[in-house]
Structure 1
Amino acid sequence: MKKVKKAIIPAAGLGTRFLPATKAMPKEMLPIIDKPTIQYIVEEAVESGIEDIIIVTGKGKRAIEDHFDHAFELEMNLAEKGKIRLLEEVRRSSGVDIHYIRQKEPRGLGHAVWCARRFIGDEPFAVLLGDDIVQSEVPCLKQLIQEYETTGASVIGVQPVPDHETQRYGIIDPKAKQGRLYQVRNFVEKPQPGQAPSNMAIMGRYVLTPDIFRILDLQEEGAGGEIQLTDAIQKLNELEQVYAYHFQGVRYDVGEKLGFILTTLDFALRHQELRGPLLQAMEEFLEKSTLPKVIG
């Protein structure tokens, strides 16, 4: 069995939920404390044993490439000033072998994955979406890779969501369960309210066999007029078993404003230097007798 050593990170989206901030800056570069969101995703991939990463970008995403490149003048300046810890943090983002390809038109997640087919070749591979950050003792992707090595089949990361949110996600229709691993009858992309077959939602982590590319070659447009990866996974499931795995860890949704704010707040409360001052500031804020003026 071939090992999972390559990963695709789709990053070609327009980031419309964060406009006007994302007019000139990729949403993947929006920082959680002091690291852009995409760096959390790259670090998870590397910690899971991934050796080669391809980021699928689009127009206006050059900042992502610059971030993961060496910044010689900056590094020299930090070294001269003796800022060793900060220098190590900066170098951490440039010590990964990353490749890039452009998705020339916004045709959906399935199409973005298809764009990287020549890079992947005939190997199993991972897909990590930038809207989901997962904090766990064992990296989320590594958990899926371990299941792949046991089953020899594609494995999709899932976690439960409230019933009223199922229409926002791809949802699995489970057939059987063994521990945290599900055999799946159907994968349903964004079911209509009240029609979801379960509340187990696909959470932006995938390990897939290269057979998915033959399906994506012919995949028609689905929800939102885009080529949906979930639709292709369902067709793959009809040809060979595709599993879902209820991964362990806390998943943060950084793809929309409230989730991004809550993620930043939670990470700040876990930050050694920020926790104390932040708690004090929050206490003072809550003690104010008047609510702040509503903006936006």
Structure 2
Amino acid sequence: MKIRKAVFPVAGLGTRVLPATKAMPKEMLTIVDKPLIQYVYDEAKEAGIEHFVFVTGRNKGVIEDHFDRMFELDATLAARGKKAEMEVLAQNQPEAGAVSFTRQQAPHGLGHAVWCARDIVGDEPFAVVLPDELVLNTPGCLAQMIAAAEQLPEKSNLIAVEAVPEHLTHQYGICGVGQRHSCGNMFEVAGMVEKPPKGTAPSNFSITGRYILQPEIFKILENQERGAGGEIQLTDAMIALARTQKFYGVEFEGERHDCGSKAGFLRANIAFGMKRAELRDGLIAEMKRYLES
């Protein structure tokens, strides 16, 4: 299964982190010195993705600008001899034609956002990456999933899963655990349920924000009825697709950070800052100074 394209649903309103997202997309909030969207783009690029599809909405034009060239900035940096900064910008610049943008005109849910990318993705398997979930690890989560996909037959679907405390399973989409695959960190998904009532979850494996899906999901999403919250839910469409195609859960390595919540956003800044050798000592010193005060 060659996975060439990744879909990034970035049309959400970011209500969990208001007022920061009133005038700025949540995907442009910075973790240390890079916006969220840059981290997930880098993760997909590392995984071998060739075409990056962003499903945007109103007031999201700055995301498109972020992946474009700024000639004034380039010229200013060159005139001032700032070669290091120019190299950073060059590394973050996608190749011409490698990025596409399409609109989700109304907030109809994650499933609808993925469906909006149908004509760009076409008839091939593709990845879905939720930008407000970061995974701190090398190799990245999507690279681990694509490596797992290579061990499976065609027409297989994959979901990144993470074990959560059993008393919190009612807060997540949960998948049941079927037969284990020989590679060890993967199992057949035996059913999926969105936020099961307490004490009814089939396992403690939560569905996280990384997927590899077959194109047949688009036909299902096209006629998908609204689910939880009155929105078209991707999980509901995956449940329908699972009647004819196998799904596998991939237990990825790494720390997952929910940057769509205020506490998760702060934690991610600390975690990613601590991973930077040039920042670690200063960050530790500042945190000790603050705690002692």
Letter in 2 for 1:175: G
Give 1:186-265 correspondences, 5 Å limit.
Answer: 186-265=191-270
> Letter of the aligned partner of 2:44 in structure 1?
A
CA distance in 1, matches of 2:198, 2:229: 16
Equivalent in 268, 275, 278 of residue 270 of structure 1: 275
Match of 2:43 in 1: 44
**Identity across the alignment (%):** 49
**Residue 94 of structure 2 corresponds to which residue in structure 1?**
95
SS at the partner of 1:203? strand
Conserved in 2, the CA contact under 8 Å of 1:41 and 1:133?
yes
Following superposition of structure 1 onto structure 2, how do residues 5-154 of structure 1 map, counting pairs within 5 Å? 5-96=4-95, 97-151=98-152, 152=154, 153-154=156-157
Instruction: After TM superposition, give the deviation of residue 100 of structure 1 in Å.
Output: 0.4
**Structure 1 counterpart of 2:175, one-letter code:** I
Q: 1:157–1:244: 8 Å Cα contact kept in structure 2?
A: yes
1:15 is displaced (CA, Å) by: 0.4
Contact 2:39 2:134 in 1 (8 A): yes
Structure 2 segments unaligned to the other structure (5+ residues): none
Distance apart, 1:229 and its partner CA: 0.6
Letter aligned with residue 42 of structure 2: E
Runs of 4+ in 1 over 3 A off after TM superposition: none
Q: Provide the C-alpha distance between the structure 1 equivalents of 2:2 and 2:56, rounded to a whole number of angstroms.
A: 25
Q: In the aligned structure 2, how far is the partner of 1:276 from the partner of 1:145?
A: 35
Residues 95-137 of structure 1: CA distance to partner in whole angstroms, max 9, x if unpaired? 2421100101101110000000011110110000012111222
Q: Which deviates more from structure 2 when the two are superposed, residues 44-53 or residues 140-149?
A: 140-149
Q: Aligned partners of 1:38, 1:105: CA distance in 2, in Å?
A: 21
Q: Find the residue that maps to 2:207 and give its secondary structure.
A: strand
Offset from partner CA, 1:184-243 (integer Å, 9 cap, x none): 121111222322111111111111110111111111111111111111111111111111
**TM-score of the aligned structures, taking structure 1 as reference length:** 0.93
2:46 maps to amino acid: E
Q: Deviations over 1:159-188 (max 9, x none)?
A: 111223322321101122231111112111
Aligned length: 287
Q: TM-score, normalised by structure 2?
A: 0.94
SS of match in other structure, 1:150:
coil
One-letter identity of the residue aligned with 1:164: H
Which of residues 162, 165, 183 in structure 1 aligns to 2:165? 162
Whichever residue aligns with residue 55 of structure 1, its letter is F
SS in 1 for 2:249: strand
AA aligned to 2:132 is: D
Letter in 2 for 1:176: Q
> Any idea what SS the aligned residue of 2:8 has?
strand
Kept in 2, the 8 Å contact 1:67–1:93? The answer is no
2: CA distance, partners of 1:4 / 1:282: 42
Contact kept? 1:69, 1:94, Cα under 8 Å: yes
Distance in 2 of aligned mates of 1:130 and 1:142:
16
SS of aligned partner of 1:167: helix
Shift of residue 40, structure 1, vs aligned partner? 0.4
The answer to whether the Cα contact below 8 Å between 2:136 and 2:272 also exists between their aligned partners in 1 is no
Counterpart of 1:157, as a letter, is: A
Structure 1 residue ranges without an equivalent (≥5): 289-296
2:272 corresponds to which letter in structure 1?
F
